[in-house]
Chain A
Amino acid sequence: MVSLVVLLIIAVALGLTHGSTSLEWGQVWEPQSTAGRIFWQLRMPRVIVALGAGSALAVAGLVFQVLFMNRLATPFTLGIATGASFGASVSIWLAGVPGLFMTVTTPIGAFAGAGCSVALVWVFGRSRAGHERQSMLLAGVAVSFFFSSLILFVQAISSYAQSFQIIRWLMGGIAVAGYRETSYLVPAAIVFLTMVMLHNRALDLLLTGEELAHARGLHVQRTKQRLFLLTSAMVAIVVSVTGPIGFVGLVVPHMCRLVIGVRHRLLVPAVALAGGVLLVFCDLIARTAMSPAELPVGVFTSMIGAPFFFILLLRQQMRH
């Protein structure tokens, strides 16, 4: 845990000091200078958003893995990301010419799309068929495929420039983040992390299976619904700002579980810290790897996440 905090400080420091342009450090404290503006208006909100989004996505993945008792669950398993992507695609398509206007409409579209997919899965979950957690996951996959096809449809009917914008959005990125995004993402993330932390014993119980969770005195249905809605709302907010950044929500909980164990009192803070660190680092690489060009951060999280996940699976195979 201590090492995570140290890593966090290093990541934030590097994230603030490195970027596609090197700064004149003497000027940083003068807000009107170029260096000052880059530092305060671009880098600072960007690092904060990466931190908040990374923590939130990682903890969201953790919660979904417990909620659906499935190690492969991610924040996006239930189709929230595809729903958001569809909403974003439609808004890009409707906005016509890409321009400043889009930085407002795309997040709204993405949030609306995410809301649609959550609502669909929720309605399914409330129906009789939704009592089996596997069928809820399948519903998520179905919703996901449905929106994927709609995204392709929107792409097919939009112009070349819009199509490029859509693809770029689908890769996920923190480039657009400014203080407007920070102002709602950060409070939302803090509320979310606090709420999950308050449910740490409930998560411990859910981990032992539904039967035992009931027998040990947990209000299972109510707890699950609350966590589901809370987490979905958080993911929808994150996705509307950053686009679908994959693998943070899958890999980080697993990493932390290997080191820390399954007690959520320690696991939740660890996952939040590690998720934030990972995304700040990935965003740093994305900004500097091919400087001055910027790469979408989603490319790196998956590039690092996928091989790691593969190793994890191999290790598990070997244990059995």
Chain B
Amino acid sequence: MEGLTLVRGGRPILSDVTFQWNPGDTTILIGPNGAGKTSLLRCMIGMHADYRGRIHFDGRDLRSFTPRQRARMIGYVPQVLDTDFNVDVKSFMASARYAHSGNRHSAIIKESLALTETTHLPDAFLDELSGGERSRVMIAAALAQEPKVLLLDEPNAHLDPKHTADLVRLLSRLHGQNMNLVVVAHDWNPFLALRPQVLALSRGELFHSGNWETTVNLLPELYGCAFTEWHASDQSRSYPTFEIDS
């Protein structure tokens, strides 16, 4: 990603963001609200195509791919499902295979549902599912695209602790299969077990990039509040600390 700049309504949403992914990297994308995290993901799925700068993929400009070619490389798990209709899980999964032709659809879909432990839900409507089930179905749908890169927008926002642990285990497995993961997170602690790279955005600009050890001391400056770091069973955890006037 080179000099990525996106302007909306005369205001830069992203300005001059440059970042390098290596094959098999897991990256967490952090930053305060409105820092441009979701916009950055939307550039990568072709939703915002009028950005300046370049996103390279396998040495080729992302914009030179057709939408279907792109969808075979990049999967996306949105934060919320933006629909006004009752979509059932089966249809939702089926349409995830749009970019692929051939006859392996149902096998791949079954496999993806199994990976996220949602096989029992095919006839349910998405808006009847619990937040956690819905998140897992959306991850399953993105996996059904068989992507090389998986973008997840706050995948743990609706998950209980058990399913968060399952998610991290799943991501770790995908990481093991050399899939590139990009995770937007406000609660990044669960993902630190994946030893991720960190891409920190602030007001649309690249604030910091590097591993977690080089990032952790910059958190107060990035978010404008105090943080406390804990170490538990060899893993770092950072939580915001604050006082309430009483």
Residues of A bordering B, CB below 8 Å: 66, 69-71, 128, 201, 204-205, 207-212, 214-220, 257, 261-263
Contact = CB atoms under 8 A, between A and B. Distances in A.
Interface stretch (B79-87, B106-114, B232-240): B79-87
Contacts of A70: 84
Given A205-B98, A215-B75, A217-B70, A262 B85 contact: yes
Interface in B97-134: 98-99
Given A69-B83, A207-B85, A209-B83, A263 B145 contact: no
Interface stretch (B40-48, B56-64, B178-186, B217-225): B40-48
B46 A211 contact: no
B88 interface: yes
Interface string B70-94: 1110111010011111111001101
A69 B84 CA distance: 6
Contact of A261 (B91, B98, B99): B91
Contact of A209 (B42, B67, B78): B78
Contacts of A217: 66-72, 98-99, 145
26 contacts: A69-B84, A204-B98, A205-B98, A207-B85, A207-B87, A208-B87, A209-B78, A209-B82, A211-B42, A211-B47, A211-B82, A212-B76, A212-B81, A212-B141, A214-B45, A215-B46, A215-B47, A215-B78, A216-B71, A216-B96, A216-B145, A217-B71, A217-B99, A219-B66, A262-B85, A262-B86
A212 B151 CA distance: 12
B228 interface: no
B45 A215 contact: yes
Contacts of A212: 76, 78, 81-82, 141
B20 interface: no
Contacts of A214: 42, 45-47, 67, 76
A319 B74 CA distance: 36
Interface string B142-173: 10010000010000000000000000000000
B91 A263 contact: yes
A300 B81 CA distance: 38
Given A216-B99, A217-B68, A217-B72, A210 B47 contact: yes
